[in-house]
Amino acid sequence: MSSAQFFNYPGTETNAEQYHYSQAVKIGNTVRTSGQGGWDEKGNVEPDLERQIGLTFDNILKALKAVDSRLSLDDVYAIRSYHLDVDTSFNIMTTQFREQFPNHRPIWTCIQIGKLGLEGMQVEIEVEASIPV
Q: Is the dihedral of CA 14, 20, 24, 28 positive or negative?
A: positive
SS3 content of the chain, % helix, strand, coil (to 5): 35, 25, 40
What are the residue ranges in the chain where pLDDT is below 70?
1
| DSSP reduced 3-state for 30 | strand
pLDDT of 96 reads: 96
pLDDT of 19 reads: 85
- Do residues 123 and 84 make contact, with C-beta atoms less than 8 angstroms apart? yes
Alpha-carbon span 93 to 91, nearest angstrom: 5
pLDDT of 18 reads: 85
Q: For residue range 58-81, what is the model confidence (pLDDT) as tens digits?
A: 999 999 999 999 999 999 999 999
pLDDT of 1 reads: 59
pTM of the prediction?
0.94
